[in-house]
């Protein structure tokens, strides 16, 4: 029975010998399957394609846009506004609802195309052995047991066991995160639990053959491949609600109860006082409608859209609008190493001569001691230079070639003077490559390979005055030290030959070698990443490297970037899998480096952070990153070197593949959330002022200060233009000098609800005070005075809430010209309602006297002064001090600001 299950249920084909796999799959590797048998197996196992479960229905997705609590409340408000004759309010609310639904639908629709990108990774045709001959078939026709012939340039069409290989090298970075192409070895002996990146006997669907040839047996197709397994993981992932969505949902539930309570209390109070029932019903309904900030979805949408536009200008493309705000709440960034923190290319950075002399830059070509060393790097190399472009070849050899160029060596001249005559290609078993050249003084053999494969063959070492005795222990110690620092180490050796024959006996030539030295290569950190990590630390954001690479390599890169100290634990993916849920929640948040992580383990890491109450971002560029990108609170993909799968699964794409862009995006995210809070603070305080005025008027012996039409006018004017203008408020100066907001923090935290209560009471008190002054003075304009004071007090409040801590003088009166324009326009419209005779009958207003107008313009300034005094107390820590902090963070606000100040001083 052929078993092609995926994941842990699949037979350990990477452990089996080729003969065992052949027996398991019941196939002759020389004859292949018969056409009849292949068709039978295709009927049994299905096409070699990744199934796309049609759970994504556009109509259902559109309907979901109208199920949010705030949207339902707005729908009720639209109905109520229509019943009381306020058609304008009804239309405005419906337009806001439709706009919000369309934006959400478009963003979610685009975010569900990851599976299509996964399917596009397969090649259209593949060479297979069937009926004893080689033929070409569609990749979808492959079945378990097919014998496939691979060669350089092929994309591997299915999961396969390598049974015969000739220098087969496969780039698996997109699947495993391994930065160096993997040399495959059909005869290697592996453990059952070998990580995906260590399975040198296997070739996996979607990876790229960079060199060599191979004969392979298909062991998994379609969903039974590792790529299909990743697709399954992505289908299982549901995008989590963003922090803003959670906070607004909670806000909506709270508001619905508050609105109902307002209706009952105001109606009951009015009826008990003897007011006309119809008037009180209309007043209660109007006040309830006014209490709902119907502009909130529009403000949120506009703020997110403008933020997305700014981020695009800074090379960050937002694919889902809610992700803009999520960035501002991020506490942890789980970053892929290869291509994200590093450049995803090899670079020679450690040059060690046989005598131990070490350089971090290429030695000059005219340095006598280094000339044989450079000669070996240049000649034992298969790179093909291209004019005006990147050279073609293996990344390791490209790194050597570029080092030779940087040293000033004319490689073309060398190739002319030292033509290659014979070669023994790199082989996974031998782990070295040998070339023979016809030199000016006779033939020379040059050997390059892993230190453990080259050093045992050396008997001498190159010295300044000729060859010396080979100090093998010293050479091995230097190689081990460089490897421990994260370098991929190669050894260089050469031998003068007596004659050049027609054939090359590898055992004879690769003996009695002269050791030239070692060269260490590394996938270097991207420019600016270290500084970006410093910014993350100052902003209270923890960064964890999650890589499919070797633990030593990942640890060394983390050390270079300052992400970990010597001795800090490096967690292995297999260890993550063995941890219990409680252990993950305690260990993973304290871990800075995770190596050899599989797609499932990346998901486990993100889930553990979320379970511990943190907001996790995940960056990545490979297919193996896609499920975790979708699981994370915000997935961030690389736009240049990233795969289509990763980009489609992500919420944000870095167009420049620069980790530093994330920091700019976080700044925008924090700014947007701050502005949404400012709008909520502003509009709910304004609504509270209206409620206090109407609720308290009967208790102080005053008639109702406002009519229903006046309530709706205030609601439309003050929540409209000034409220929207607050959404474009510039970022506060300390926005990146504070820890992230605690993930569980309510939208009213940080003293907001207290502010809403007391400032609302102040506005209501000023309104009633002005009303009482005019009413007891016998003025017929008492209701217009109350109406105007309430409106202008809210405008004064809009100026005051532009910052939660900084004074208006510090942030600058002119730093948000849109808000000033909105306030000026609202003031003119209010004066028009009061003094324009065509509007007076509609809004039941009367023209004010000069004294009354001065009072109406002066009293609102008290609100501005009072709020500025509140901020003065907040800055001194005398108000709204909270002990809340992000889970796992001991850093205080003072420590964060101190770090930020030091960074600014360095600049």
- Catalytic residue numbers read 336
Distance of alpha carbon 753 from alpha carbon 403, whole angstroms: 63
Q: What pairing do the DSSP bridges indicate for beta strands 466-469 and 159-171?
A: unpaired
State how far the Cα of 309 lies from the Cα of 316, in Å rounded to an integer. Answer: 9
Distance of CA 450 to the CA centre of its chain: 36
Between CA 645 and CA 113 the distance in angstroms is 8
Sequence-distant (≥ 6) Cβ neighbours of residue 85 within 8 angstroms: none
Q: What DSSP state is assigned to residue 338? A: I
CA–CA gap between residue 618 and residue 631 (Å, rounded): 9
User: CA gyration radius for the chain?
Assistant: 35
Q: 398: left (phi > 0), else alpha (psi -120 to 50), else beta?
A: alpha
**What does each C-alpha distance from 793 to 373, 410, 468, 759, 798 come to in angstroms?**
80, 78, 91, 10, 9
Residues making up the chain, counted from first to last: 907
Token pair of 85, please? 């004759």
Give the position of tokens 């670079």.
347
- Tell me which DSSP letter residue 834 carries: H
Q: Are 337 and 596 a contacting pair, CB within 8 Å?
A: no
Nearest to 196 by CA among 217, 182, 212, 210: 182
Of 835, 831, 684, nearest to 752 by C-alpha is 684
Give the angle subtended at the CA of 134 by the CAs of 130 and 136, to the nearest 5°.
90
Residue reference for tokens 């508050």: 258
- Token readout for 662 is 């994330």
Query: Shortest CA distance to 495 belongs to which of 423, 548, 434?
Result: 434
In three-state form (DSSP H/G/I as H, E/B as E, the rest C), the secondary structure along 462-515 is EECCEEEECCHHHHHHHHHHHHHCCCEEEEEEEEECCCCCCCCCHHHHCCCEEE
The CA-atom distances, in angstroms, between 146 and each of 5, 41, 45, 223, 447 are: 16, 10, 13, 17, 37
What are the backbone angles phi and psi of residue 873, rounded to the nearest 5°?
-70, -35
Distance of alpha carbon 530 from alpha carbon 533, whole angstroms: 5
CB count, 10 Å around CB of 102? 13
How far apart CA 614 and CA 741 sit, in angstroms, is: 10
Distance CA 431, CA 424 (A): 11
Alpha-carbon distance 515 to 498, whole Å? 19
- Spell out the SS3 assignment of 73-135: HHHHHHHHHHHCCCHHHHHHHHHHHHHHHHHHHHHHHHHCCHHHHHHCCCCCEEEEEECCEEE
Does residue 721 contact residue 836 with C-beta atoms inside 8 Å? Answer: no
> CA-CA distance, 859 to 286, in Å (whole number)?
25
Beta bridge partners of 408: none
| CA gap 661, 528 in Å, rounded | 10
CA separation for the pair 359, 352 (Å, rounded): 7
SS3 902: helix
Which H or E run contains 610? helix 599-611
Q: Burial of 368 by CB count in 10 Å (0-12 exposed, 13-18 middle, 19+ buried)?
A: exposed
């Amino acid at each position: 029975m052929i078993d092609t299950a995926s994941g842990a249920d699949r037979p350990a084909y990477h452990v089996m010998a080729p003969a065992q796999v052949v027996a398991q799959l019941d196939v002759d590797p020389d004859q292949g399957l018969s056409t009849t048998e292949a068709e039978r197996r295709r009927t049994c196992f299905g096409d070699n394609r990744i199934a796309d479960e049609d759970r994504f229905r556009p109509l259902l997705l559109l309907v979901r846009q109208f199920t949010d609590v705030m949207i339902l409340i707005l729908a009720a408000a639209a109905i109520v506004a229509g019943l009381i004759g306020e058609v304008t309010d009804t239309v405005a609310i419906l337009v806001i609802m439709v706009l919000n639904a369309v934006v959400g639908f478009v963003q979610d629709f685009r975010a569900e195309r990851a599976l299509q990108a996964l399917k596009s990774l397969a090649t259209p045709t593949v060479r297979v052995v069937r009926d004893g001959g080689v033929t070409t078939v569609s990749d979808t026709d492959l079945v378990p047991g097919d014998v496939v012939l691979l060669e350089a340039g092929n994309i591997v069409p299915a999961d396969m066991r390598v049974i015969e290989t000739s220098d087969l090298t496969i780039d698996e970075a997109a699947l495993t995160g391994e930065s160096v192409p993997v040399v495959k070895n059909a005869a290697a002996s592996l453990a059952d639990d070998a990580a995906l990146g260590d399975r040198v006997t296997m070739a996996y669907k979607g990876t790229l053959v960079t060199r060599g040839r191979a004969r392979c047996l298909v062991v998994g197709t379609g969903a039974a491949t590792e790529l299909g397994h990743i697709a399954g993981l992505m289908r299982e992932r549901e995008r989590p609600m963003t922090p803003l969505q959670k906070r607004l949902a909670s806000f909506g539930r709270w508001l619905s109860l508050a609105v109902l309570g307002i209706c009952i209390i105001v109606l009951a109070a009015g009826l008990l006082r003897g007011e006309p029932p119809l008037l009180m019903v209309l007043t209660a309904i109007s006040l309830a409608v006014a209490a709902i900030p119907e502009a909130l979805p529009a403000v949120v949408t506009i703020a997110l859209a403008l933020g997305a536009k700014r981020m695009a200008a800074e090379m960050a493309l937002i694919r889902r609008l809610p992700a803009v705000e999520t960035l501002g709440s991020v506490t942890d960034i789980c970053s892929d190493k290869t291509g994200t923190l590093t450049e995803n290319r090899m670079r020679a950075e450690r040059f060690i001569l046989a005598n131990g002399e070490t350089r971090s830059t290429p030695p000059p070509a005219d340095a006598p001691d280094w000339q044989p060393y450079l000669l070996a790097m240049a000649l034992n190399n298969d790179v093909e230079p291209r004019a005006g472009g990147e050279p073609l070849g293996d990344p390791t050899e490209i790194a050597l070639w570029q080092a030779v160029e940087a040293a000033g060596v004319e490689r073309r001249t060398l190739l002319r003077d030292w033509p290659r005559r014979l070669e023994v290609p790199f082989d996974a078993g031998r782990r070295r490559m040998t070339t023979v050249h016809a030199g000016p003084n006779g033939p020379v053999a040059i050997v390059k390979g892993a230190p453990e494969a080259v050093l045992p063959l050396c008997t001498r070492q190159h010295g300044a005055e000729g060859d010396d005795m080979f100090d093998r222990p010293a050479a091995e110690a230097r190689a081990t030290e460089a490897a421990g620092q994260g370098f991929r180490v190669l050894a260089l050796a050469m031998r003068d030959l007596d004659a050049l024959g027609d054939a090359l006996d590898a055992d004879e030539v690769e003996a009695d070698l002269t050791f030239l030295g070692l060269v260490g290569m590394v996938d270097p950190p991207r420019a600016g990443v270290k500084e970006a990590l410093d910014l993350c630390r100052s902003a209270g954001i923890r960064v964890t490297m999650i890589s499919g690479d070797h633990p030593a390599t990942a640890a060394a890169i983390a050390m270079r970037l300052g992400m970990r100290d010597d001795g800090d634990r490096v967690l292995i993916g297999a260890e993550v899998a063995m941890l219990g849920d409680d252990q993950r929640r305690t260990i993973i948040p304290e871990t800075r480096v995770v190596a050899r992580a599989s797609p499932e383990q990346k998901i486990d890491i993100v889930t553990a952070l979320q379970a511990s109450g943190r907001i996790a971002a995940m960056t990545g560029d490979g297919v193996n990153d896609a499920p975790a990108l979708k699981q994370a609170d915000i997935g961030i993909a690389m736009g240049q070197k990233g795969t289509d799968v990763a980009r489609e699964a992500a919420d944000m794409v870095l167009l420049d593949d620069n980790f530093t862009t994330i920091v700019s995006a976080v700044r925008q995210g924090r700014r947007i959330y701050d502005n949404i809070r400012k709008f909520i603070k502003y509009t709910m305080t304004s609504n509270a002022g209206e409620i206090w005025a109407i609720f308290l008027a009967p208790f102080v012996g005053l008639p109702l200060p406002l009519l229903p039409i006046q309530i709706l006018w205030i609601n439309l004017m003050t929540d409209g233009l000034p409220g929207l203008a607050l959404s474009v408020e510039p970022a506060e100066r300390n926005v990146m000098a504070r820890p992230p907001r605690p993930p569980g923090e309510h939208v009213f935290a940080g003293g907001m609800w207290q502010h809403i209560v007391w400032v609302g009471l102040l506005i209501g008190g000023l309104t009633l005070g002005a009303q009482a002054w005019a009413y007891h003075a016998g003025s017929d304009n008492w209701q217009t005075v109350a109406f105007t004071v309430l409106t202008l007090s809210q405008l004064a409040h809009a100026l005051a809430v532009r910052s939660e801590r900084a004074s208006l003088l510090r942030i600058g009166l002119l730093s948000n010209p849109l808000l000033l324009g909105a306030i000026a326009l609202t003031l003119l419209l209010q004066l028009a309602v009061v003094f324009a005779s065509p509007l007076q009958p509609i809004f039941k207003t009367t023209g004010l006297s000069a004294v009354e107008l001065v009072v109406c313009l002066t009293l609102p300034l008290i609100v501005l002064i009072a709020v500025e005094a509140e901020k003065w107390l907040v800055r001194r820590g005398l108000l709204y001090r909270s002990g809340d902090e992000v889970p796992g963070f001991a850093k205080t606000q003072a420590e964060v600001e101190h770090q930020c100040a030091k960074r600014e001083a360095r600049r």
